[in-house]
Structure 1
């Protein structure tokens, strides 16, 4: 999946927390978010706030789908509230896809 496809996929699944997201989809969307937030913060604090708020759901959704792809529940994203938990999430996000179906595929739309 390339940069454009990842952005398109994530916005088409804006608030879809079921299913799977590949590593490339997740990381390309994270790069898009960082670039977009960096540009908007240089322009205006208000614009930054609006964009950050608009990206909350797709970022959480792609994170949940990425965790499903490695066989974990999306609720593990709550670990990001701690520093150590963020490091654990980072480790999980870089893991390869777990082949076969898992319990989170059953809830896929």
Structure 2
């Protein structure tokens, strides 16, 4: 289920990027075009839910997603601090060091976390029930 959803996301993203490029709407939402940006907004909640289900399948808490992806906003805030330090405060040393540490630290920790999540996603789920529920691969009889 998880990998089929991932394949759908990748293929739909490619198709929508081509359509956005052909219609001239590429870049309206950062790197995405109009259709791609709307698609991303539409799939974020189901993607997070499926990620949590996948983590539960290997007996891990869904909070790992928040922890891992929480590092990237830290890096972005650090980038903002760097910009303020450079352009508004005439390269104020303490803020420059703080911003640089946040960008580098948040980025590196986020990338390490993504690698860990990929390894966990590849791992086969627990056999039988775990604390998050029954094994989804086992047939349930009602």
**Above 0.5 in TM-score?**
yes
Which of 28, 39, 60 is equivalent to 2:4?
A: 28
Structure 2 unaligned spans of 5+: 21-32, 73-109, 135-142
Show the counterpart of 2:116.
88
Which of 30, 49, 54 is equivalent to 1:61?
A: 49
State how many pairs are aligned. 82
Q: Does 1:46 align with 2:30?
A: no
C-alpha separation in 1, matches of 2:34 and 2:11: 17
Quote the RMSD (CA, aligned, Å): 1.4
Structure 1 unaligned spans of 5+: 1-24
TM value normalised by structure 2: 0.54
C-alpha separation in 1, matches of 2:133 and 2:62: 12
C-alpha separation in 1, matches of 2:125 and 2:115: 19
Residues 8-23 of structure 1 correspond to what in structure 2 (within 5 A)?
none
Shift of 1:72: 0.4
Higher Cα Rg, which structure: 2
TM value normalised by structure 1: 0.70
